[in-house]
Amino acid sequence: MVPVNKEKCVQADFLANLVHDLKAPVVTIGALAKRLLDGKMGPLTPEQKKGLDVILRSCERLEYDVQMISQHMKVDLVKRLSPKVFDIEKIAKRVYETLKPKADEKGVALSFQAPAEAVSIEAYPFIIEKAVFNLLDNAVRHTDQGGHVLVTLSLCDGLVEIRVADDGEGMEKKKLDLVLRPFEEVMGVRDRELRGFGLGLSNVKQYAELHGGLLKADSTPGKGSVFTIQIPRYYKKNLQKREESSHISQ
């Protein structure tokens, strides 16, 4: 029987090699397909354009999967650093502004709401930013032209809440439960579109739990989805409470 720690090292090495081997060719193929599709290398027939569009979309999905695997690997490295106190609205707004052009290009109305006063939080900035990005990127990707995505930041009873709501595709409860499973299980999902969606959500769930929080999910086919991250405002105080609770339960 392989020891747990050794097994984790083997998995980490495999994922690291996978990311390294896939990243460069996927980016290169995608960039070349886009140049061809834009007509920068000569005229194309309608059938050729259709084929290149399929190649480009496949590259984008694979590149997203690679990005999610890379994020998953970085969490252990980030955990070795100390959490910081920062204004979470600035990070959430930065993600919103990063994805706004993508939403505009797709014809999706993207909105942002936050309290009038600054909301400071003690957490890992990199992880919080990635969590918000994954939720918002998923929402924009799965909302059709003419749809709406709303990001809401709020503070209640010592908890910071980041809520991303859309009126996009939505999904059945069975599929929702599947994409919220642990990262390693989502990796085995055969449906590529569902796997890509799940890898991002699996990371978000892990990020929230790392801070002693949780990820809430609600979705209805044809009506949209709501994903909410809830995390304690102060990481160290919450960590101390969790350790005390753990000692009591023992």
Domain co-membership, 190 together with 117: yes
The pLDDT score that the predictor gives to residue 153 is: 95
**Does 16 reside within a domain?**
yes
Last residue of a domain, one of 78, 96, 126: 78
Domain co-membership, 213 together with 166: yes
Phi and psi for 199 in degrees, rounded to 5? -60, -40
Greater pLDDT, 67 or 160:
160
197-234 per-position pLDDT tens digit = 556 777 788 888 888 899 998 989 889 999 999 999 88
How many domains would you assign to the chain? 2
**Does 57 reside within a domain?**
yes
Q: How confident is the model at residue 145 (pLDDT cuts 50, 70, 90)?
A: very high
**Does 37 reside within a domain?**
yes
CB–CB of 74/24 below 8 Å? Answer: no
- Domain with 14, as residue range(s), is 4-78
Q: What is the CATH number of the domain that holds 191?
A: 3.30.565.10
160-198 per-position pLDDT tens digit = 999 999 998 888 888 777 777 665 554 444 555 555 555
Domain co-membership, 49 together with 166: no
Domain co-membership, 150 together with 47: no
Phi and psi for 147 in degrees, rounded to 5? -85, 180
99-126 per-position pLDDT tens digit = 898 899 999 999 999 998 888 999 888 8
Task: Indicate the DSSP class of residue 83.
Answer: P
- What is the rounded CA–CA span in Å between residue 250 and residue 246? 6
